[in-house]
Amino acid sequence: MPPLERPDRPRDVTLAPRRAVVAAEADVLVVGGGPAGLGAAVGAARAGARVVLAERHGFLGGNATAALVMPLMSWHTQRPVFERQGVNSLMPDDHGPGHPVIAGFVGDLLERLVTNGGAIPPSLETGFVVPFDPEVFKLTALELLDEAGVRFLFHALASDVLPGRGGPRGVVFETKSGPVVVEARVVVDATGDGDVAARAGAAFEVGREDDGLVQPMTLMFRMADFERAAFEGYARAHPDQWRAVHGLWDLVRAAAEAGELDLAREDILFFGTPHPREVAVNTTRVTRALGIDVWDLTRAEWEARRQLRQLGAFFRKYVPGFEAAYVVQSGVTIGVRETRRVLGEYQLTADDVLGARRFEDVIARGTYPVDIHNPAGKGTVLKRVPPGEAYDLPLRALLPRGVDRLLVAGRCISGTHEAHSSYRVMPIAMATGQGAGVCAALAAKAGRSPHEVDVAAVQGELRRQGANLGD
Ligand SMILES: Cc1cc2nc3c(=O)[nH]c(=O)nc-3n(C[C@H](O)[C@H](O)[C@H](O)COP(=O)(O)OP(=O)(O)OC[C@H]3O[C@@H](n4cnc5c(N)ncnc54)[C@H](O)[C@@H]3O)c2cc1C
């Protein structure tokens, strides 16, 4: 049976008013426990705030764990040469070794992931990405929150805000125990989707300028019992068929012609993980669907699982090294790349990213390319930041226009569709999270609006926490 679809002539009903239990009063409430939420909660707690983090799932990590989005993309200015890359590597390039532009929470997480045996540090061999184990990621994130003194509430979906003067004074969560409220002096929206900001009345944009389409969704999965040597032998013998992490164009074409593969992309994309006999496959693609629309999400999960079944069979039948491989795990949820981009005091643009622009109110840095998976079909656009350079993310992009007591962090900050395709990656999301958390903590402590906090004080605290502001 096909999934339920959006009704043609929707009928609605009025719900009864409800009362909610107040679970906590916090200085800073962080909504969402993904990369941005983790950075925000730890940043705010280290700045001395009483922090509560609320998350709809029963574990932390967001896309990194729920959607099996692996690895952490590179935060180094350069890419290594193709010949020296293994299956973990990102994209071929010949700019030589670069330098890291993000530190602070990302560095702490990396160090602890490696200590816990769950990640490979960035190097030429990994193409400066960080392959990690999602189960170790979940445990490590919990450790870091515990150590920072962050209290948390799981299985809590933010559905509304408690209106306060100029902005939300709390957030309403749907739980198995009924509606629950967390009150806070400042809220950080790290839902990826800007759910809280939208409920608080913040203006936002969705999709690219000409047709409103967003980047596709992808259900990621892990394949185990893969024979790396056999695959690398094939890749070496067919240099036109594999470029670092993607390719196999001829095999995809052959399977498509045989009626065995029906994908909205022309190649296969996968990454190595810390486990030598495993890869994380990033190849299903559902276009013309929006990750904040329940009808689209339902159809996307349905469609992506059809693609996953085909891909599992394709790998075993067509791809050397995968003869005995099998799908060991898929995401709890399809991965959502792009939804709301909340309009902030400043909107970051592609020119800012590709021009390596600096800002007085820098709170984080990025160097990842503009990377747009075609919202309408096959193909991916990639445009690089100049070799050796990085761009700044200004605090103003985290401050929603016209709404007080609220910051946004991660992939829902203020930027254009093109700029978003760069700053959406997890290390940058963690860094904007840390910036938002620190600003929220200082605002709460001073009893001021986040819009009025002294930028130099935010930057000073971020530096104290080890962040890289490009000094
Ligand atoms: C298929 C795919 C592949 C990608 N590949 C890479 C890659 O290889 N490397 C890389 O670095 N980046 C990659 N990205 C980008 C990256 O994963 C995301 O942009 C990044 O995770 C954004 O972090 P975030 O914290 O802003 O949002 P998310 O990771 O989406 O986290 C949001 C969190 O908020 C929670 N939440 C959402 N709504 C609510 C609510 N209403 N109430 C309570 N909780 C809520 C969610 O459960 C989640 O935990 C990829 C993304 C996708 C989808």
Mean pLDDT on 375-381: 92
Residue 96 has pLDDT above 60, yes or no: no
Indicate the top mutation candidate among 52, 56, 63, 367 to test ligand 1's pocket, ranked by most ligand atoms within 8 A of CB: 63
CA of 237 to the centre of ligand 1 (A): 36
Domain made up of 21-211+339-464: CATH architecture: 3-Layer(bba) Sandwich (3.50)
Q: Is the CB of 65 under 6 A from ligand 1?
A: no
pLDDT tens-digit map of 180-192: 999 999 999 999 9
Q: Which residues pair with 406 in a beta bridge?
A: 187
pLDDT tens-digit map of 268-325: 999 999 999 999 999 999 999 999 999 999 999 999 999 999 999 999 999 999 999 9
Query: What pLDDT is attached to residue 87?
Result: 45
| Contact of 76 with 367, CB cutoff 8 Å | yes
Mean pLDDT on 121-149: 94
Mean pLDDT on 2-6: 92
Write 156-159 long-range contacts (CB < 8 A, 24+).
156/54, 156/55, 156/56, 156/180, 157/56, 158/31, 158/54, 158/56, 158/191, 158/195, 158/196, 158/199, 159/199
Query: 201: exposed, middle or buried (C-beta count within 10 Å: 0-12, 13-18, 19+)?
Result: middle
Q: Is the CB of 189 under 6 A from ligand 1?
A: no
Residue 34 has pLDDT above 80, yes or no: yes
Taking alpha carbons only, the member of 73, 39, 78, 36 closest to residue 390 is 78
Query: What pLDDT is attached to residue 85?
Result: 43
CA of 36 to the centre of ligand 1 (A): 8
SS (H, E, C) 401-414: CCCCCEEECHHHCC
Cα–Cα distance, 217 to 286 (Å, whole number): 5
pLDDT tens-digit map of 60-71: 999 999 999 999
Q: Is the CB of 87 under 6 A from ligand 1?
A: no
Cite the beta strand spans of 32-127 per DSSP E. Answer: 51-54
Query: What pLDDT is attached to residue 355?
Result: 97
Cα–Cα separations (whole angstroms), residue 355 to 73, 350, 359, 391, 392: 20, 8, 12, 7, 10
Q: What is the mean pLDDT of the chain?
A: 94
Residue 131 has pLDDT above 70, yes or no: yes
| Contact of 315 with 221, CB cutoff 8 Å | no
pTM across the whole model:
0.97
Query: What pLDDT is attached to residue 80?
Result: 45
User: Amino acid letter at 65?
Assistant: T
DSSP 217: B
| Longest CA–CA separation in the chain, Å | 67
Could you give the percent of the chain with pLDDT greater than 90? 91
Taking alpha carbons only, the member of 49, 7, 69, 48 closest to residue 335 is 69
Cα–Cα distance, 36 to 59 (Å, whole number): 15
Taking alpha carbons only, the member of 418, 465, 221 closest to residue 334 is 221
Query: What pLDDT is attached to residue 127?
Result: 81
Mean pLDDT on 362-368: 97
Q: Give residue 81's pLDDT band: very low, low, confident or very high (50, 70, 90).
A: very low
Q: Is the CB of 169 under 6 A from ligand 1?
A: no
Q: Give residue 95's pLDDT band: very low, low, confident or very high (50, 70, 90).
A: very low
Q: Give residue 92's pLDDT band: very low, low, confident or very high (50, 70, 90).
A: very low
pLDDT tens-digit map of 196-225: 999 999 999 999 999 999 999 999 999 999
Cα–Cα distance, 376 to 372 (Å, whole number): 11
Residue 84 has pLDDT above 70, yes or no: no
Domain boundaries along the sequence of the chain: 21-211+339-464, 221-330
Residue nearest ligand 1's atom 21 by CA: 63
DSSP 82: G
